[in-house]
Amino acid sequence: MVSKTRFWYPFILLMFLCAGAAMDTIRPGNHLNSSTTVVSVGEMFELGFFQPTDSEHYYVGIWYKNIKEDPVVWIANRDYPVTASAFFCISDDGNLEIKQGRIIYRVTDMTLPNANVSATLLDSGNLILRDENSSILWQSFDFPSHTYLPGMKLGYDTRIQSTWSYVSWKSSNDPSPGNFTLKLDSGPEKQIMIMNGDAIYWRSYRSWGDRDNFFEFPVETRLNMYNFSFVSESDTAYLTYNIYTNDTISRFTIDATGQLRQLLWLDNEWSMLNSQPMQPCEVYAYCGANSSCSNMSSPICSCLPGFKPSSVEFWNNGDFKEGCSRKNELQCGKNDGFHLLTKVILPQKHLTQEVQSFGDCRSSCLTNCSCSGFSYTDRNCSIWTGELINLQQLPVNNSSGTDFYLKLAATDLETKKESSSNMRRTVIVSVIVTMTVFTSAFCIWQVKVKRDKRKGQDLLSFEVTMSPSHTKKEQCKGRWQVEHEKEVEIPLFSFSSVSAATDNFSFSNKLGEGGFGPVYKGKLLKGDEVAVKRLSRQSGQGWDELKNEAMLIGKLQHKNLVKLLGCCIERDEKILI
């Protein structure tokens, strides 16, 4: 909204009113110019004009007062850059405005009964406009830019026509709205999505329900640092969070390349706790429908067995969006069968139901014409219908991954039908081979971890007051990888001692169940109590994530956080203490 100026303040008045600028509040008649700012009471945030690196433009924004590296969290005029001669003020009618010569950009546009309003920058980073009775008329938290701060919302409220979504910058030097938007899906699944223009770029696997009330990113649920809450009513749904420790600085940003990053200010730099999508295979429908993605192979997309590229020409040119279609249509009945894919990350969108057996699950897919595949674990039968999106094939030596049964027409099933005893033998042999591979991988890894320590330590006699020491610094680079990492050494405990401390993981010691496995109370010989997180085998959590996480918790030796004493990795068990 750009409109002609209706009035112009005398220069003298400006000089006079700007005198007492080092405050947290702008009142009618006050102005900010390109070199004056307001600062929140606790000196957390600063509001004023800023100039992006290598840019001649000026913007009104909010940034961390004491952080120089990538500090901007909010921008008032993303679409309307101004010059150094602009002012930011409260207009006669009580609205926030940016004036440059005769041009006015209205940051807020409200009709107010009384123009006696004031704008205050809070320590949360929220700029609030209040009337004389201190009722909030407007707040910057309701108009997010690219940064999702504690206390902000991600979602929508249809009653007040509000959408809390986050739009990337065009580039790192250009805050104007970019291609990527972080938002909450308004469908029943309530997933978090990154849109690239109008197309889905990434969506969280997890949806927000009553039970799994945790964020997609696994790490912070175990850090016990973030308190996420999800509100869902008929007209409104949003995700919000706060941080238990009020001196911790953390935020989410959606950057110009479409990466959603979770950052924590630690040791004078932004540490990245998480970044999504982690790799191209996680980009929504990167390989199109009915294909599998594996970043270890080249090209990274391939059609599922029994499928062929929908457009061979596009496919061969590395454009996989068209996906794959069936070589032979399903017969919708007895002539169809299943092809087993092992070690996959399951496709998106499925329905899960409880069944008595594998056979029940198999037949419920077989008898349903629209079923295109199923997966079965512990009585949970997941059924996919229609297209299969984002199936990922993991390498054989990866310790995570699930079995997926792909429904195919009989003619597309493997022609060399082995006799069942042959089949059984093959299965047994491959199980043994796989187990050997894992066991040796684990052994190699354990040797690496243990280094001089010969065996896992005894948790029961561990001195809780000892804390892990920070050691060598290591930096990894790469778009899809964690950019900044410090290694810390963490003690490794024996499984038997962990088991003893938790009374054999007894139910009475169970404290709760997180998204990635149960948490137990453990008791040490000296009476100290510890929390023991046993990562579930289905969590899909690999060693790398566990290691990253353990290192992260190790780094975060904060008084209010649960301290990481160590971990235990033995056989299939991955445990954090």
Ligand X SMILES: *[C@@H]1O[C@H](CO)[C@@H](O)[C@H](O)[C@H]1NC(C)=O
Site string for ligand X, 302-341 (x = CB under 6 A): --------x------------x-xx---------------
Q: How far apart are CA 12 and CA 82, in angstroms?
A: 22
The reply to whether 434 sits near ligand X by the rule CB under 6 A is no
Angle CA 99–1–109, to nearest 5: 85
Which conformational region is residue 76 in: left (phi greater than 0), alpha (psi within -120 to 50 degrees), or beta?
A: alpha
Using CA atoms in the order 133, 135, 137, 139, what is the torsion angle rounded to 10 degrees? 130
Tokens of 551: 């290192």
Q: How far apart are CA 68 and CA 352, in angstroms?
A: 48
Name which of 510, 514, 458, 289 is nearest 388 in CA terms. Answer: 289
Tokens of 296: 């270890």
Which residue, 370 or 467, is less far from ligand X as judged by CB? 370
Question: Closest distance between ligand X and the C-beta of residue 19, in Å?
Answer: 6
Question: Closest distance between ligand X and the C-beta of residue 279, in Å?
Answer: 5
Residue among 100, 275, 372, 393 that touches ligand X (CB under 6 A): 372
Which residue, 158 or 367, is less far from ligand X as judged by CB? 367
Angle CA 564–568–574, to nearest 5: 100
The reply to whether 351 sits near ligand X by the rule CB under 6 A is yes
Residue among 43, 79, 92, 132 that touches ligand X (CB under 6 A): 132
The reply to whether 229 sits near ligand X by the rule CB under 6 A is yes
Which residue, 101 or 395, is less far from ligand X as judged by CB? 395
Question: Closest distance between ligand X and the C-beta of residue 544, in Å?
Answer: 4
The reply to whether 572 sits near ligand X by the rule CB under 6 A is no
End-to-end CA, the chain: 55
Residue among 383, 530, 535, 553 that touches ligand X (CB under 6 A): 383
Name which of 182, 113, 119 is nearest 145 in CA terms. Answer: 182
The reply to whether 377 sits near ligand X by the rule CB under 6 A is yes
Q: Where are the alpha helices (DSSP H) in 320-452?
A: 358-366, 420-450
Binders of ligand X among residues 204 to 223 (CB under 6 A) are none
Q: Decide the pairing of beta strands 391-393 and 291-293.
A: parallel
Tokens of 240: 């919000």
Q: How far apart are CA 367 and CA 63, in angstroms?
A: 58
Which residue, 266 or 408, is less far from ligand X as judged by CB? 408
The reply to whether 255 sits near ligand X by the rule CB under 6 A is no
The reply to whether 116 sits near ligand X by the rule CB under 6 A is yes
The reply to whether 172 sits near ligand X by the rule CB under 6 A is no
Give SS3 for 478. coil
Residue among 402, 543, 558, 561 that touches ligand X (CB under 6 A): 543
- CB of 38 closer than 8 Å to CB of 21: yes
Question: Closest distance between ligand X and the C-beta of residue 17, in Å?
Answer: 8
Question: Closest distance between ligand X and the C-beta of residue 506, in Å?
Answer: 19
The reply to whether 131 sits near ligand X by the rule CB under 6 A is yes
Binders of ligand X among residues 391 to 430 (CB under 6 A) are 394-395, 397-398, 400
Strands in 226-232's sheet, in edge-to-edge order, are 162-164, 153-157, 236-243, 226-232
Question: Closest distance between ligand X and the C-beta of residue 182, in Å?
Answer: 15
Question: Closest distance between ligand X and the C-beta of residue 527, in Å?
Answer: 26
Residue among 1, 2, 13, 15 that touches ligand X (CB under 6 A): 15
One-letter amino acid of 465: T
Name which of 415, 327, 376, 325 is nearest 366 in CA terms. Answer: 376
Q: How far apart are CA 568 and CA 546, in angstroms?
A: 11
Q: How far apart are CA 241 and CA 569, in angstroms?
A: 32
Question: Closest distance between ligand X and the C-beta of residue 38, in Å?
Answer: 13
Q: Which residue is nearest to ligand X (CB)?
A: 325
Which residue, 176 or 385, is less far from ligand X as judged by CB? 385
> Cis omega before residue 277 (within 30°)?
yes
Site string for ligand X, 260-299 (x = CB under 6 A): ------------------xx---------xx----x----
Q: Where are the alpha helices (DSSP H) in 22-166?
A: none
The residues that touch ligand X, with contacts defined as CB under 6 A, are 15, 18, 33-36, 42, 84, 113-114, 116, 131-133, 179, 227, 229, 242, 246-247, 256-257, 278-279, 289-290, 295, 310, 323, 325-326, 351-352, 368, 370-372, 377-378, 380, 383, 385-387, 394-395, 397-398, 400, 441, 480, 538, 542-544
